[in-house]
């Protein structure tokens, strides 16, 4: 399918007559803007997705391969995914461009295995920023470098509703500065979008020179004379949204026989759930949508239950004489917040996107999760006091398209705000969190004199503000800003000896908003060390995971038990409240409770028999190539192959990837050499001894592999037994074997032509091709020690180990090494040779020439090349396994 212009593509994708003028300007511009300032409901998602698609496939403009769409809220990421998939299907692009959600849990379609393909990635700032920082939340630690490499190279980042991102916004600007300074493959650009956007928000320490003293970024804004006169936007621009403070009308008490007294207004605050519920019921208009937005999950749940109680039948009589009363006619009541599982959230879409409402209408009680990415238009909006940028987003969820004009007898829109106590109101205890007292006080002052919050009114209001007033109403002072040294240090994924990592949560969300994830199973996890395939089968699927505030989960653990996966020990261990960190995933047995279908995460809830849980024995999670632990060879549990055969397949896979990528600056020779030698270490006796010759009950070795000691792949899993040396890593043996040869008088062919940088690169890629041996080489606390006192050892490889000769294919043979040298694991030089850490640090930090501004490789390019090697290895392994499983007559 081809299109003459962007308008034709837009029409085909959306079914709408024409794009808005600003959408066409975005798609057709010579260079993409960095800032997009557009109101809620103006189609920013379609602007980004369809604009990227047009430029990538039809406009012949240099455009990154991956579109990374980052949202501040997790609750309705799926809605953005569904819209993008619908557009691509309408265009006939559903196979050419895949859409993936990054949410934690297993992903049936592993986007990172297709680095050469155009891809749309959608996720929250938690999932995307943590991966861009090499500490990916909700995913296996050994796959962190792949996402780190792919998200920081050849990618267009679009951050939507940035006014809600807090600290994450500063991290996004720093990341863009680091990419420009450290170097990437392809192009990486960031676009920041919002209805309320001040350029100074982007002035983080390393990005400030693009903002001050003068703005050097391109801004795309809507024009009143063109954009707001277009059909569809004109109605939104002119829509009236009258607002007032919420108050109940109450008849005053009076003495008997006295004259009637007029009703009085009784104002109330957010902590008075019963009064708020009464007000919501009074203001709801039958047949319409009422949206109530509350600032915290606890108040949201309490209000929902209070409203549900008001509409519940009251028993007649008391005690034993009580009888049920008739059902009370009630609107459809719904609750939305971020502490639901995706399984339940999937059901929301049917009523969130429904064009028809029930006869009595619907009341939705929600937290601020509806502020971004939710296409709702309520007739009645009731909101707690919030920071002004948040209020602007909330106002955009009422009379969104001007469908409630209130003229000529039509239904009018109505908006109300509920005060939240702060010290400025005389409150002893502030209820401002997660916001600050100052933010709420500023909003309260402005709302006191505001009568309409329609788009036109808000724009005119903003234009009247001077610089100081804007800064006060739109503050931004992130408490933590990641610095260049911090970012570079995150390249190293080696945990400390206790298995802990650098905590990046302070760079992703503000302190009280950080989370863990929990899932429920019928029983506690199996005890002890698990085999790789068994561990993979019981890992959580995405639809099981519930996001939980980290403080709430620590409190839950005071009276309940849970378990988390220890990747170093390859087992599930009991959770310790003092060792709960952001992004961790926890297994909870259903007997512990903690979840309710209607209320979501609820620590006091017992488990209901009708709640869905996944049974790993009958409900398959997605297939994964992630190795669950340090001491597993999951990728080796595939169809039988020799080292020669597997090496050939991996080289073919790499050739396919590089041809499609067409990146001239990629050092192809070093990559090919790394693959040629990457599995030599599988010839090590520890690896070969782990493969049984004739395991009982699971069949014999294929004839061509009988008695051989050059096996790279073997299946089924029962063929394998545990390594005689715990934590053995064949890739470390491969790299040390090559290093030993390079120090000899006759280094192997192919290596002589490489300079020092490329030699170190090839060595690094050999060692890092499973994500487990990267910057440092060190032994594990529970490793078996060598028989020779004082001998060096690490990851099951011992000083003096032999490495047999092996045919590596392509006319290359690895000679036998009589004794592996582990001195590179030591700090400092040995025999004038740099240590392993020094070699990798040179790759990460050194420039090719003194006058260069960026390192020759740097952490981002290095991780990208590492990803390409790993992808080629994984794809070759999966392809060989699929071929082996086919009937012989079906194989080509």
From the DSSP assignment, how many helices (H) and strands (E) are in the chain?
25, 28
Q: Are 261 and 228 in contact (CB under 8 A)?
A: no
Of the candidates 271, 272, 337, 280, which has an alpha carbon nearest to the alpha carbon of residue 307?
280
Residues 6+ apart with CB under 8 A from 743: 821, 831, 833
The whole-angstrom separation of Cα 714 and Cα 658 is 28
> What pTM did the predictor assign?
0.89
Kindly state the tokens that stand for 153: 């190279």
Query: What is the Cα 749 distance to its own chain's centre?
Result: 43
Burial label, 884 (beta-carbon count in 10 A; 0-12, 13-18, 19+): middle
Report the percentage of the chain scoring pLDDT > 90.
67
At 285 the pLDDT is: 96
At 499 the pLDDT is: 60
Name residue, tokens 């059901």: 347
197-212: pLDDT as tens digits: 899 999 999 999 999 9
The whole-angstrom separation of Cα 885 and Cα 23 is 49
Kindly state the tokens that stand for 652: 């073919």
Of the candidates 79, 34, 430, 10, which has an alpha carbon nearest to the alpha carbon of residue 207?
34
Q: Are 401 and 41 in contact (CB under 8 A)?
A: yes
Of the candidates 546, 198, 230, which has an alpha carbon nearest to the alpha carbon of residue 389?
198
Q: Are 101 and 82 in contact (CB under 8 A)?
A: no
Residue 315, SS3 per DSSP: coil
The whole-angstrom separation of Cα 459 and Cα 661 is 45
Q: Are 350 and 78 in contact (CB under 8 A)?
A: no
295-348: pLDDT as tens digits: 999 999 999 999 999 999 877 777 677 777 777 889 999 999 989 998 888 888
From residue 827, give the alpha-carbon distance in Å to each of 781, 822, 835, 836, 838. 19, 11, 6, 8, 8
What are the residue boundaries of the structural domains of the chain, listed by start? 6-235, 240-252+262-313+328-453, 514-632, 634-890
The whole-angstrom separation of Cα 126 and Cα 105 is 14
- Residue 727 backbone class (left: φ over 0; alpha: ψ -120 to 50; beta: rest): left
The whole-angstrom separation of Cα 593 and Cα 616 is 20
Q: Which residues of the chain have pLDDT under 70?
A: 75, 104-109, 250-264, 319, 373, 496-500, 511-513, 531-534, 617-636, 694-699, 887-892
Burial label, 446 (beta-carbon count in 10 A; 0-12, 13-18, 19+): middle
DSSP string spanning 105-174? Answer: SB-SS-GGG-TTS-EEEEEEHHHHHHHHTT--TTS-GGGHHHHHHHHTSSEEEEEE-GGG-THHHHHHHH
Query: What is the Cα 866 distance to its own chain's centre?
Result: 21
Beta bridge partners of 249: 265
For the chain, the distance separating the N- and C-terminal CA atoms, rounded to the nearest angstrom, is 32
**CATH, domain range 6-235:** 3.40.50.300
Of the candidates 621, 472, 431, which has an alpha carbon nearest to the alpha carbon of residue 533?
621
Q: Are 677 and 651 in contact (CB under 8 A)?
A: no
Of the candidates 328, 275, 324, which has an alpha carbon nearest to the alpha carbon of residue 303?
275
DSSP string spanning 82-93? Answer: HHHHHHHHHTT-
At 408 the pLDDT is: 74
Name residue, tokens 């952001």: 582
Of the candidates 666, 636, 629, which has an alpha carbon nearest to the alpha carbon of residue 650?
636
Of the candidates 39, 43, 48, which has an alpha carbon nearest to the alpha carbon of residue 195?
39
For the sheet with 414-418, list strands across it: 243-245, 414-418, 380-384, 289-293, 362-366, 332-336
Of the candidates 416, 471, 463, 461, which has an alpha carbon nearest to the alpha carbon of residue 438?
471
Of the candidates 76, 61, 136, 146, which has an alpha carbon nearest to the alpha carbon of residue 105?
136
Beta bridge partners of 58: none
CA dihedral 180, 182, 188, 190 (to 10 degrees): -50
CATH topology of domain 240-252+262-313+328-453: Rossmann fold (3.40.50)
The whole-angstrom separation of Cα 346 and Cα 333 is 17
Compute the residue count for the chain: 892
């Amino acid at each position: 399918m081809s299109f003459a212009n962007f308008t034709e593509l837009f029409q085909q994708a959306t079914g709408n007559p024409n794009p808005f003028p600003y959408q066409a300007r975005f798609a057709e511009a010579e260079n993409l803007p960095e800032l997009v300032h557009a109101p809620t409901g103006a189609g920013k998602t379609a602007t980004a997705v369809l604009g990227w698609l047009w430029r990538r496939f039809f406009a012949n403009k240099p455009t990154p391969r991956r579109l990374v769409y980052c949202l501040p809220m997790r609750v309705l990421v799926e809605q953005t995914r569904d819209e993008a998939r619908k557009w691509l299907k309408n265009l006939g692009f559903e196979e050419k461009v895949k859409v993936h959600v990054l949410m934690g849990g297993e992903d049936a379609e592993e986007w990172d295995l297709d680095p050469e393909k155009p891809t749309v990635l959608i996720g929250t700032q938690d999932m995307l920023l943590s991966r861009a920082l090499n500490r990916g939340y909700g995913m296996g630690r050994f796959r962190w470098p792949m996402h780190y490499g792919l998200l920081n190279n050849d990618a267009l980042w679009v951050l939507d509703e940035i006014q809600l991102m807090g600290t994450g916004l500063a991290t996004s600007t720093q990341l863009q500065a680091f990419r420009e300074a450290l170097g990437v493959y392809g192009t990486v650009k960031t676009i920041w979008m919002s209805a309320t956007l001040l350029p100074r928000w982007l002035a983080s320490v390393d990005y400030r020179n693009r903002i001050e003293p003068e703005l050097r970024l391109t801004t795309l804004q809507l024009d009143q004379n063109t954009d707001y006169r277009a059909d569809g936007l004109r109605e939104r621009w002119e829509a009236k949204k009258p607002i007032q403070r919420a108050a109940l009308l109450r008849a005053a008490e009076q003495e008997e026989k006295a004259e009637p007294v007029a009703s009085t207004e009784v104002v109330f605050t957010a902590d008075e759930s019963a009064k708020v519920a009464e007000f919501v019921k009074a203001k709801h208009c039958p047949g319409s949508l009422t949206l109530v937005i509350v600032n915290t999950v606890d108040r949201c749940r309490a209000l929902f239950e209070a409203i549900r109680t008001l509409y519940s039948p009251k028993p007649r009589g008391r005690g034993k004489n009580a009888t049920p009363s008739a059902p009370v006619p009630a609107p459809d009541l719904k609750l939305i917040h971020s502490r639901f599982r995706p399984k339940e959230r999937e059901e929301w879409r049917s009523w969130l996107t429904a064009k028809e409402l029930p006869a009595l209408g619907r009341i939705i009680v929600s937290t601020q999760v509806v502020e971004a990415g939710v296409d709702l238009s309520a007739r009645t909006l009731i909101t707690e006091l919030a920071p002004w940028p948040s209020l602007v987003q909330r106002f955009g969820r009422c009379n969104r398209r001007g469908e409630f004009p209130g003229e000529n007898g039509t239904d009018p829109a109505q908006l109300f705000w509920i005060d939240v106590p702060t010290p400025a109101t005389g409150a002893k205890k502030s209820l401002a969190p997660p916001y600050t007292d100052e933010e709420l006080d500023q909003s309260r002052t402005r709302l006191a004199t505001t009568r309409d919050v329609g788009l036109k009114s808000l724009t005119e209001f903003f234009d009247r503000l001077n610089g100081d007033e804007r800064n006060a109403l739109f503050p931004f002072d992130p408490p933590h800003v990641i610095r260049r040294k911090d970012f570079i240090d995150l390249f190293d994924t080696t945990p400390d000896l206790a298995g802990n990592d650098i905590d990046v949560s302070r760079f992703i969300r503000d302190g009280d908003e950080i989370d863990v994830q929990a899932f429920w199973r019928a029983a506690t996890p199996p005890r002890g060390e698990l085999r790789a395939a068994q561990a993979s089968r019981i890992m959580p699927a995405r639809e099981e995971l519930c996001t939980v505030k980290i403080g709430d989960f620590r409190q839950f653990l005071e009276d309940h038990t849970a378990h988390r996966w220890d990747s170093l020990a390859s087992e599930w261990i009991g959770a310790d409240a003092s060792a709960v960190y952001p992004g961790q995933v926890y297994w909870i047995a259903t007997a512990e409770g903690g979840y309710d279908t209607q209320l979501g995460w609820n620590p006091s809830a017992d488990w209901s028999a009708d709640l869905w849980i996944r049974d790993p024995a009958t409900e398959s999670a997605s297939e994964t190539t992630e190795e669950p632990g340090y001491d597993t060879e999951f990728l080796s549990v595939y169809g039988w192959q020799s080292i020669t055969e597997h090496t050939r397949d991996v080289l073919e896979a790499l050739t396919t990837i590089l041809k499609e990528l067409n990146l001239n600056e990629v050092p192809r020779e070093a990559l090919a050499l790394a693959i040629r030698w990457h599995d030599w270490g599988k010839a090590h006796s520890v690896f070969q001894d782990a493969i049984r010759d004739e395991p009982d009950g699971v069949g014999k070795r294929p004839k061509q592999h009988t008695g051989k000691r050059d096996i790279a792949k073997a299946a089924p899993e029962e063929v394998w037994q545990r390594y005689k040396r715990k934590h053995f890593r064949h890739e470390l043996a491969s790299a040390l074997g090559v290093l030993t040869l390079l120090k000899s008088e006759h280094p192997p062919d192919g290596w002589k032509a490489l300079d020092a940088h490329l030699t170190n690169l090839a060595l690094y890629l050999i060692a890092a091709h499973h994500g487990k041996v990267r910057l440092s080489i060190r032994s594990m606390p529970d490793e078996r020690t060598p028989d020779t006192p004082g001998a060096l050892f690490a990851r099951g490889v011992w000083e003096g180990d032999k490495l047999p000769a092996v045919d590596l294919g392509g006319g290359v043979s690895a000679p036998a090494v009589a004794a592996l040298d582990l001195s590179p694991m030591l700090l400092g030089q040995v025999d004038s040779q740099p240590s392993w850490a020094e070699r990798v640090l040179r790759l990460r930090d050194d420039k090719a020439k003194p006058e260069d501004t960026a390192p020759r490789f740097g952490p981002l390019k290095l991780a990208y090349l590492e990803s390409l090697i790993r992808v080629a290895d994984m794809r070759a392994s999966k392809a060989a396994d699929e071929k082996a499983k086919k009937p012989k007559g079906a194989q080509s």
